[in-house]
Structure 1
Amino acid sequence: MQINKLIRAAAYPRYSSDNQREESITAQMRAIEAYCQQKGYVIVDIYPDEELTGTVDRRPEFQRMIDDSYKRLFDVVVVHKLDRFARNRYDSAHYKRILKKNGIKVESVLEQLDGSPESVILESVLEGMAEYYSLNLAREVMKGMFVNAELGIHTGGRPAYGLRVNPETRKYEIDERTYRAVQIYFDGIDNDVPNPAIAARLNEEGFRTQTGEEFTANSFYGWATNRKYKGDYVYNASSAKDEEGKRNTNKKKPESEQTIIPGIIPAIISAEQWDRVNEKFKSRKRTPGRMKAKVVYLLSGKVYCGNCGALYSGNSYKNSKSSENTLLTYYKCQAKCGNTSVRKEDLEQLVMEKLVYNCFTNEGMLDIAKRVQELYLREKKQSMSDVEPIKRELSELNVQIKNWTTAIGAGVMSVIDNIKQAEQRKEALLFALQRAELMDKAKTVDEELVYKVLENKKNSLNSSDENDKKEVLQEYVDRIVIQSSTDINHYDAEITYRVFNGGGEGI
């Protein structure tokens, strides 16, 4: 039986006194609770801000919610209306970006469509533009670093154990104090000596790790595969940074994408021994155990029962009558009202086919490109008018932060929260300023970028990665209603897409 993941919701009701007609905190919570019950969410915390405007982000409960998002305490933030989250569009984009990085969505009770389709596309295009300018700058920096690499000059980072960097030439040299430890390790692996025994010998001979500690069986990570030990200079080997700007240095690019210059570093190990040890190291790796395949339900949270209104959830079980113990997968009404279950593959395939027909046709893509262009010009005009006010506020914030920091030095600790909120506001303003500067560089949106975004989304529907498919479907499908039926082979499904269909959204 498939165990469905519990969706944890954080409720954010906000009431400001500037408009007495606005819904009260209590009324908002009633609507949020009903919404969560319908969606099958469990409310785990409430962050109410009373009599505080949404035009600024200095709201204590709002900031507590953002802080808690880093702790992964909930999966979705539910608001009554989107303007409850933030009325300042830059704050809204900034904090939604933070929540997205932390794996958290923002949903509205009254506005089921969180952002128009063209705004979603525009965000993707702007991200692509930002990536282009960033890569272009990085490319110029990399040119100089590649020249150094070709000369064998150290380009940064800690040298491999057994090597050192000449302070004058900046080139690699053999470290006379430690290189012998590398040879002992390679001789040991070459002769099938286990890592604990190699570590024990190095400790007995007085060798220590780069941090001054004794060697253990786990101290040799990366040694057997480090090409520098046979004299090869390897550069640009680490994988690219992720969307948060972090790099996993343990994950390497394919050798075809790395810069490898043979024989430019003094070799500690012969090429023949390095090749033998490298092959033995690969064979030593454990064969990963077979993990039970996780079923990815592409339409989770989107399928509703037309009979009772409850949410459908993913459900799977093994077919005991099958000689191969086949896994059967369905979407099933959570309320068990008697409405038919639907086969996972049938419904998902139907929804993907209709999505391609409605959105990824030439007509649909032309319509999207036109709408994105119009939205971009409006956004750019607004962004340009906001630049000077943003710069003024940044200047004022810097002065405030400096004064508060001085106050802390004088022992006034009560200003710590002020500094924290000011720093968060500063981050949001810098995000807005960077966005405006990016838009200032391009008069219009390149339609090829729009098509590229759409093509990538279309291709994702044909991807072997189920999570790629799910991301697109979650973005473009609003809801699916399974009409009342008792026959799994015959039922009506009403599918509402967030797409363009000859100029409008379609069902």
Structure 2
Amino acid sequence: MFLAGHGYNQIIRELTEQSYKSRYGKPISKGTLGTILRNEKYTGTYIFNLTDSKDAAGKRNGNRHKNSEDVIRVEGGMPQLVTKEDFQKAQDKMNQNKRQPGAYKAKEMYLLSGLIVCGECLKKVGIQYAMMGNTKYSGRSKLKYVTYRCGNRDRTKACKNPELRREYIEAYVLAQLQEKIFNDEAIPVLAKQLNEYQKSKQTSVKADQQRLIKSLEGVERQIDNIVNAVAGGLNNPAILEKLSSLEQQKIELETKLLEAQQVKEKAAITEDALRQLLSGFQDHITSRNLPEIKKFIGSYVEKVIVYKEHVEVIFKLQVVDLIDGGEGSRTPVRR
């Protein structure tokens, strides 16, 4: 669709209608779509060690790439879904679009794009229609209003969920972030939970390494047996085909093991580090640094569901409910 001239909004609408979601279960956003179009792995090239390691807070910037000599590429290392010719055409077209920013630059920044969905459609038809940014002018003085409204409203006119003023909903989500996650009472609990999660991930990585080592040893034993048999005079086409398959398995296992070994044990996350993170977040809010605020929201908010009478904010992390004192990994906040 992209090569045929369709825009991101058209492609996203088509994907939404067919119930496609991102690998994290979220609606496809423009950012996700751009990442897909840039992903060389779809051409059959397995790539890893591409991005810089995580920072002290455990966050990774997927857009910050390492030097080309540090990136490991394995041609034919995974199934090819897109021809290299089509992939290159897409890159050329995206680069051409970059050189024409006036036609493609968004006039407004929506902090909740990709996160905010229509609760009424979800309740009525079971589909999470994304709420899209919308600008309109009203009254004699043509005052400008920037809102979020359900994408299904434009497509079918069936949704009756009212539009929501951008400044209201974005301010509300920011307030909930500060109240539920970035505050003095929640930080000790958050630090403990992050360290427990980090420890569990490290244990999982070590288990994966041991499993890969055992699998690699098994494949190498099979290769040695076949090589010895061939050296002893056995020359069967099926045996040679099996040897070729095992050699490919060995390459894949070695690649995965090398990737797993790149994972370093992380230092414990301290409460002071989280407070510094909070301080940076508040500085961004004060200075209205919208790109950084948008990154923060994307890191800690899983979804914002808008109903006619209330809004639910679902966080990605376990947070303390300061009203009821309970804890949960999905904490709806209603207004």
TM bucket (normalised to shorter chain) is 0.5 to 0.7
Give the conservation status (yes or no) of the 8 Å contact 1:313–1:334.
yes
Shift in CA distance, 415/467, structure 1 to aligned 2, threshold 3 Å: farther
* Aligned residue identity for 1:495: V
Question: Counterpart of 1:354?
Answer: 176
Q: CA separation in 2, counterparts of 1:386 and 1:39?
A: 27
**Matches of residues 21-40 of structure 1 in structure 2 within 5 Å?**
none
Q: CA separation in 2, counterparts of 1:351 and 1:321?
A: 29
* Aligned residue identity for 1:355: L
Question: Counterpart of 2:4?
Answer: none
Give the conservation status (yes or no) of the 8 Å contact 2:121–2:129.
no
1:432 partnered with 2:260:
yes
**Matches of residues 164-175 of structure 1 in structure 2 within 5 Å?**
none
1:364 partnered with 2:182:
no
Give me the CA root mean square deviation: 5.2
Question: Counterpart of 1:49?
Answer: none
- SS of the residue 1:481 aligns to: strand
**Matches of residues 57-456 of structure 1 in structure 2 within 5 Å?**
69-70=39-40, 125=56, 243-246=64-67, 291=102, 293-294=105-106, 295-309=108-122, 310-317=128-135, 319=137, 328-336=145-153, 337-380=159-202, 390-394=212-216, 419-435=247-263, 438-439=264-265, 444-452=268-276
Q: Tell me which of 317, 321, 327 is aligned to 1:504.
A: 327
Query: Offset of 1:365 from its aligned partner?
Result: 1.4
Shift in CA distance, 471/402, structure 1 to aligned 2, threshold 3 Å: farther
Q: Tell me which of 297, 302, 305 is aligned to 1:478.
A: 302
* Long gaps (5+) in structure 1: 11-31, 43-65, 74-94, 102-122, 132-240, 249-287, 485-490
TM-score for the superposition, normalised by structure 1? 0.38
Query: Offset of 1:342 from its aligned partner?
Result: 0.8
* Aligned residue identity for 1:427: T
1:69-100 C-alpha deviation (Å, 9 max, x unpaired): 52669xxxxxxxxxxxxxxxxxxxxx9x9699
Q: CA separation in 2, counterparts of 1:455 and 1:381?
A: 31
Q: CA separation in 2, counterparts of 1:351 and 1:362?
A: 18
Query: Offset of 1:359 from its aligned partner?
Result: 0.5
* Aligned residue identity for 1:492: H
Give the conservation status (yes or no) of the 8 Å contact 1:319–1:327.
yes
Q: CA separation in 2, counterparts of 1:71 and 1:473?
A: 28
Query: Offset of 1:357 from its aligned partner?
Result: 1.2
1:296-327 C-alpha deviation (Å, 9 max, x unpaired): 3322343333333252422334538787x876
Question: Counterpart of 1:494?
Answer: 312
Give the conservation status (yes or no) of the 8 Å contact 1:312–1:331.
no
* Aligned residue identity for 2:109: V
Query: Offset of 1:338 from its aligned partner?
Result: 1.9
1:253-280 C-alpha deviation (Å, 9 max, x unpaired): xxxxxxxxxxxxxxxxxxxxxxxxxxxx
Give the conservation status (yes or no) of the 8 Å contact 2:27–2:115.
no
Shift in CA distance, 462/291, structure 1 to aligned 2, threshold 3 Å: farther
Query: Offset of 1:349 from its aligned partner?
Result: 1.7
Q: Tell me which of 12, 16, 38 is aligned to 1:7.
A: 12
* Aligned residue identity for 1:335: N
Give the conservation status (yes or no) of the 8 Å contact 1:69–1:99.
no
Query: Offset of 1:389 from its aligned partner?
Result: 5.2
Query: Offset of 1:460 from its aligned partner?
Result: 5.4
Give the conservation status (yes or no) of the 8 Å contact 2:117–2:304.
yes
Give the conservation status (yes or no) of the 8 Å contact 1:125–1:453.
no
Query: Offset of 1:358 from its aligned partner?
Result: 0.9
Q: CA separation in 1, counterparts of 2:41 and 2:202?
A: 35
Shift in CA distance, 388/319, structure 1 to aligned 2, threshold 3 Å: closer
Q: CA separation in 1, counterparts of 2:224 and 2:145?
A: 62
Q: CA separation in 2, counterparts of 1:99 and 1:372?
A: 24
Q: CA separation in 2, counterparts of 1:498 and 1:467?
A: 20
* Long gaps (5+) in structure 2: 1-6, 30-35, 70-98, 123-127, 154-158
* Aligned residue identity for 1:331: Y
Query: Offset of 1:364 from its aligned partner?
Result: 1.4
Shift in CA distance, 125/493, structure 1 to aligned 2, threshold 3 Å: same
Shift in CA distance, 398/340, structure 1 to aligned 2, threshold 3 Å: same
1:356-387 C-alpha deviation (Å, 9 max, x unpaired): 11110011111111122333444445655665
Give the conservation status (yes or no) of the 8 Å contact 1:369–1:451.
no
* Aligned residue identity for 1:501: V
Q: CA separation in 2, counterparts of 1:495 and 1:341?
A: 17
Shift in CA distance, 451/317, structure 1 to aligned 2, threshold 3 Å: closer
Q: CA separation in 2, counterparts of 1:289 and 1:41?
A: 24
The structure that has the greater radius of gyration is 1
Shift in CA distance, 449/399, structure 1 to aligned 2, threshold 3 Å: farther
